[in-house]
Amino acid sequence: MNAPTNIESLLQLERIRVGYPASGGLHVVVDDLSLALRAGEIGCLLGASGCGKTTVLRAIAGFEPLRAGRIALLGDAVATVATALPPERRRVGMMFQDYALFPHLDVAANIGFGLHRMPRAGRRARVEAMLDLVGLRDCADVYPHELSGGQQQRVALARALAPEPALLLLDEPFSNLDIDTRQRLAGELRALLKATGTTVLLVTHDQAEAFAIADRIGVMECGRIVQWDDAEALYRRPADRFVADFIGRGTLVPGAALGLADDVEVLLRPECLRHDPGGPIRATLVEAGFRGPGYVGSVRLATGELVEIDLPEGAPRQPGEVLPLRLVEQGLVTFPR
């Protein structure tokens, strides 16, 4: 799939192919991948482990050569098959999964590391501005091992932002943090990046993270982008079965199981089946549990498929009970069989 591109793009990937040398030749890891980001936009590559997300970032940063295609930044080609601007001349900042902080340097020195070409006074001012930005002014002379995971992440972010890169690449920015911290910091990170107007491409395998941070998300499968869209479009209008299955909770069910045409498959999300005493569909409750803010159950349709549903107040919760259900047809996603 080719993402739409335009001349206003700050970052443009055009049908890139990237691979690693292997005994039989080249092991192609990313193929025919295109995307475009406007200035100030936050893009995200979302996909399972090993689908090639980090490899895309490495190619943009200049650490992997292109085998096909073109990468342009601010309208200029920085990489083609024949030419490649070295990483230090691309104005691309990268924050790695493990933050890669220098253990022997304090926070201020870590943040100022990439600013060695700046005059001393300017460098000090920039480091202070970055410390303020990430809320770590009191930690300037603290060493990385004395910081929490969340604080280390903010230092790494400040260090990546300090040289004012045209583009910031974030590789699984929350992978080292516990789930509560991840959720809190996702919103914080988005606000911070938007406040600085930074253009960002991040990669994650976590859909909640992608939804919380990004303006546009590319769902990846085996080195390709299957759909490049905003979160709502991915959820409501998945381009194919892979995206339908990957994004949100849901099960693909033959139309006939719901009294619809036999030549369609229906994406049943929990909100698509409503408990309704007059409803025409019968399903057996397999289990029910409180997930907050309400109960969620899984039911088996008469045709055998197991699907998740939201259980409203008053709906049966005993496994084995037969529930009358009604299909919420508005916005239903279907695919031809």
Which residues in this chain contact ligand ATP in the complex, by CB under 6 A? 20, 29, 47, 49-55, 205
> Shortest Cβ distance from residue 250 to ligand ATP (Å)?
23
> Shortest Cβ distance from residue 252 to ligand ATP (Å)?
24
What is the Cα–Cα distance from 201 to 11, expressed in whole angstroms? 9
C-beta of 38 vs 205, nearer to ligand ATP: 205
Cis status, amide bond into 87, omega within 30 of 0? no
C-beta of 52 vs 114, nearer to ligand ATP: 52
DSSP state of 331: T
Question: How far from 334 is each of 207, 234, 268, 322, CA to CA, in Å?
Answer: 22, 14, 9, 26
C-beta of 46 vs 253, nearer to ligand ATP: 46
C-beta of 222 vs 306, nearer to ligand ATP: 222
- Helix ranges (H only) for the chain are 53-61, 107-111, 120-133, 149-161, 179-196, 207-213, 231-236, 241-246
> Shortest Cβ distance from residue 201 to ligand ATP (Å)?
13
C-beta of 134 vs 202, nearer to ligand ATP: 202
> Shortest Cβ distance from residue 262 to ligand ATP (Å)?
38
Cβ within 8 Å of residue 54, ≥6 positions away? 171, 203
| List of long-range contacts for 260-264, beta carbons under 8 Å, 24+ apart | 260/327, 260/334, 262/337, 263/336, 263/337, 264/334, 264/335, 264/336, 264/337
> Shortest Cβ distance from residue 179 to ligand ATP (Å)?
17
What is the Cα–Cα distance from 248 to 70, expressed in whole angstroms? 33
**Cβ proximity of 72 and 229 under 8 Å:** no
C-beta of 194 vs 205, nearer to ligand ATP: 205
C-beta of 56 vs 78, nearer to ligand ATP: 56
User: Can you read off the two tokens belonging to residue 27?
Assistant: 């092991």
> Shortest Cβ distance from residue 53 to ligand ATP (Å)?
4
Q: Is 297 helix (H, G, I), strand (E, B) or coil?
A: strand
